[in-house]
A and B are shown apart, each in its own frame.
Chain A
Amino acid sequence: MRFSAFRLIREGLTGNRGWKPLWRDPAPGPAYDHIIVGGGGHGLATAYYLAARYGMRRIAVLEKGWLGGGNVGRNTTIIRSNYMLPGNQPFYEFSLKLWEGLEQEINFNAMVSQRGVLNLYHSDAQRDAYRRRGNAMILSGADARLLGREDVRRMAPFLDFDNARFPIRGGLLQPRGGTVRHDAVAWGYARAADRLGVDIIQNCEVTGFRIARGRVEGVETSRGYIAAPSVGVAVAGASSQVMAMAGMRLPIESHVLQAFVSEALKPAIPGVITFGAGHFYVSQSDKGGLVFGGDIDGYNSYARRGNLPVVEDVAEGGMAVMPMIGRARLLRMWGGIVDMSMDGSPIIDRTPVEGLFLNAGWCYGGFKATPASGHVFAHLIATGQPHATASAYRLDRFERGLVIDEKGMGAQPNLH
């Protein structure tokens, strides 16, 4: 069924009785050509692109819970490509370009809203660092603008310019950055993949890999053994757990990242605004809620919930930069488990086990990467070679000394 205004009207006039399931619930088959472990954004996108761009068939996505229940369903919905390092920038720009045509391609409105991402700066040194970053963006074909204080004031007059502990001196704006309705990304990819014949199997937990002579042969699951010569793992948050079943230790720690949403309000905040002297970033959803977040809690966790210090820290950042939100009420908070890697950048690579591929280590950055991550992972699985935009995301970059460390924090995941 193709979605359109016409369809909506026709169904509305006939009692909305014609709507069909967005995806099937097939029983797992005995064997597939490709298995993707993880029915989150990245896994579903990978399955979609494998089928749509690389012509692969007999693909299954195995999800231990409900599809889209991982970080694609618990994030702050921001998309941007304002990265500085050459290992990152082309990949995230590729992702942003895929977002720009995504809805038409998959026939699902994910509300890709390019209303701009503004990073504030508060010192000369920070301005110079943003200038370096903004230039890197432009030199990679992305868009960026360096704003002075008065430019920022015109965009967001409600910010605390004069009374702040760290006065706002300007900002780096990426006009094409913005937000996307996060759940819709998982649903849209799932529906599109399903229409191309991909089996999306929920409530099917992978419990082991069958590996013989260094090659993967299939996966053990809570619903039985499933054979496949090619297995891609995209289970951010649980990467260490899943890869341990294949005998691997990863350069990853699992941490909890909290996020918050306020009660619905009439439009108050344009685009995404990021405070440069504290941990706070915010946007406003189409429903009107202020969606905001900050730093990770900072200790290893699989508990999907955080503690008060970070809640307070984030609110402090919010009040410092935009004191008009004091009377808006925080309505919901949640925690997601993120793969914090040793240099703050992801891993998309082959593994020592032939036929087993890894997509992990997304830190905070996984949501915005969803389309490109799926695309380049599909490329790797289909061709055996890294995609040009993701050639730096190798597993051996740590021992080789080729880290991609945007923040310069070294091998301490909770500081990235």
Chain B
Amino acid sequence: MRIPHPLLGLRDLREFTYLGDAALIDRPEATADEDKAALNAHVFLRDNPAGTHRELWYHEYGDRSWLVVTRDTRTHEILGAELARDVALAAGRDR
């Protein structure tokens, strides 16, 4: 597998570490115990689609960027890759 790093071009799978669904970016800002249901869904439940999947990869043996890679889980075809930081900022995450 080769991942199209937005800054570094096609890099081999072995340079990366996988985390999971890019929805993990959307962490509820939970401080109170009442937020447990939202956190529970965030931490434990997954769409796990057979098809297009946006997912987090970490360029651990590279530039240490977190990426959001869009990939078809049925064929492994990669449809795009972005810096996760850009995705997070675009989603309104900030401080």
Contacts and interface: CB of A to CB of B under 8 A. Distances in A.
* Chains A and B form a bound pair: yes
Contacts of A399: 36-37, 40, 44
B95 interface: no
A342 B46 CA distance: 10
Contacts of A252: 46, 48
A307 interface: yes
A413 B13 CA distance: 19
Given A253-B20, A412-B19, A302 B45 contact: no
Nearest to B53: A300
A265 B66 CA distance: 46
A250 B18 contact: no
Nearest to A300: B73
Contacts of B31: none
A414 B18 contact: yes
Contact of B20 (A238, A249, A250, A414): A414
A238 B73 CA distance: 12
Range class of the A interface residue count: 20 to 34
A398 B48 contact: no
Contacts of B21: 253, 300
A252 B47 CA distance: 8
B1 A240 contact: no
A251 interface: yes
Interface in A290-309: 298-303, 307, 309
Contact of A302 (B41, B50, B55): B50
Contacts of B27: none
Contacts of A398: 40, 43-44
B75 A309 contact: no
B73 A303 contact: yes
A241 interface: yes
B12 to A, nearest CB: 8
A26 B74 CA distance: 31
Interface in B14-52: 14, 18-21, 36-37, 40-41, 43-50
B76 interface: yes
A309 B13 CA distance: 8
Given A300-B73, A302-B74, A249 B18 contact: no
B74 A303 contact: yes
Nearest to A410: B43
A294 to B, nearest CB: 15
Contacts of B50: 238, 241, 254, 302
A156 interface: no
A300 B44 contact: no
A402 to B, nearest CB: 12
Interface in A92-114: none
Contacts of A253: 20-21, 46, 48
B47 A249 contact: yes
Nearest to A312: B14
Interface string A379-416: 00000000000000000001100000000000111100
Contacts of A254: 48, 50, 73
A303 B1 CA distance: 13
Interface string A298-340: 1111110001010000000000000000000000000000000
A101 to B, nearest CB: 37
B46 A301 contact: no
Nearest to A411: B43
A240 B55 contact: no
A238 B50 CA distance: 9
A244 B41 CA distance: 15
B44 A342 contact: yes
Contacts of A411: 43-44
Given A300-B55, A300-B73, A309-B14, A412 B20 contact: yes
B45 A251 contact: yes
Interface in A256-307: 298-303, 307
A300 B76 contact: no
14 contacts: A240-B46, A240-B48, A240-B49, A241-B50, A249-B46, A250-B46, A251-B46, A253-B48, A300-B20, A303-B74, A303-B75, A307-B1, A399-B37, A414-B20
Interface of B: 1, 13-14, 18-21, 36-37, 40-41, 43-50, 53, 55, 71, 73-76
Of all A-B residue pairs in the complex, the 7 with the closest CB atoms, nearest first, are A240-B48, A398-B44, A251-B44, A399-B40, A249-B45, A302-B50, A299-B18
